[in-house]
Amino acid sequence: MAEEFPAVSGSLVEQRAPFWRRTGTVVTSAALAAALFGGVTGGVVGALNAPDATTAAVSSPAALRTGAPSTSDVSSIAARVLPSVVQVNVTTDQGEGLGSGVVLSGDGRILTNNHVVAGARQVTVTLADGRTVDASVLGSDASSDLAVLRAEGVSGLTPAVFADSDQVRIGDQVVAIGSPEGLQGTVTSGIVSALDRTVTVPATTGRRDAAVSYQAIQTDASINPGNSGGPLVNAAGEVVGINSAIYSPAADSGQAGSVGIGFAIPSNEVQQIIGQLTA
């Protein structure tokens, strides 16, 4: 079974997920599902109640950039980023699950979502070259939904490059990479569809032991269970966010899937937390 994203459904949510209400520009989770995808019910699916016409409005003014990405653009971005993306495999008391991760250093430090590894008794990572190695949790922060792992006995990995997420604009081309439903190395593309969405996931969602709240980058790039912890990158192949939640009208049935509304934790917030987790 694949791991789940925090998904938000139109008005209903998966039983394990909190509900979302939208007020102005705030998305409050009444049923938010974690983007931890793979084989464990670690993430949850939620419902986003947004009946008003302002749902698609952004929370702050932003310049628009136009221009659809070409196939060659996406292929060159993927070629740069794929070596820096891994699959994270976990075993918990409930079963097996998986998510995605981003290489931080050549000696095996890897970033993922906290909900991907929460409660894990064993963690392994499958590298871009197909090797699977043991990993340990160096540090995790439930409140930000981020964790740093250490892949054992590796060297020469390709670290991802992080961008300034404050420079992201609505309409920017973005690419998401990860292991949706265990399909490692899956690449999807889209644009930044909104900025500064206030996303809140209650502690009761999935295996979370603390509420999570962040100002999210919203994208229409397709992300699904298993993409949790994977990168959202810009046209230069630089990480602008970590994929962590999706909206899904099917969340109430437990079958969360992409409908073109996904949320990523901005890279600037991520980099601040990485420093704390690895200090």
Residue-wise pLDDT for 209-260, tens only, equals 667 888 999 999 999 889 999 999 999 999 999 999 887 675 455 556 677 8
- Which listed residue (9, 228, 258, 267) is catalytic? 228
228 is known as an active-site residue: yes
- Which listed residue (29, 140, 144, 145) is catalytic? 145
Per-residue model confidence (pLDDT) at position 235? 94
Give the residues of the chain that fall short of pLDDT 70: 1-72, 203-210, 248, 250-257
Length of the chain: 279
Per-residue model confidence (pLDDT) at position 113? 96
Per-residue model confidence (pLDDT) at position 275? 87
Which structure tokens are listed for 131?
Answer: 């090797």
Which structure tokens are listed for 271?
Answer: 């980099």
Q: Give the whole-number percent of the chain exceeding pLDDT 90.
A: 54
145 is known as an active-site residue: yes
Interstrand relation of 212-219 and 231-233 (parallel, antiparallel or unpaired): unpaired
pTM over 0.75: yes
| CATH, range 7-49+62-67+161-268 | 2.40.10.10
Per-residue model confidence (pLDDT) at position 93? 87
- Which listed residue (84, 100, 115, 222) is catalytic? 115
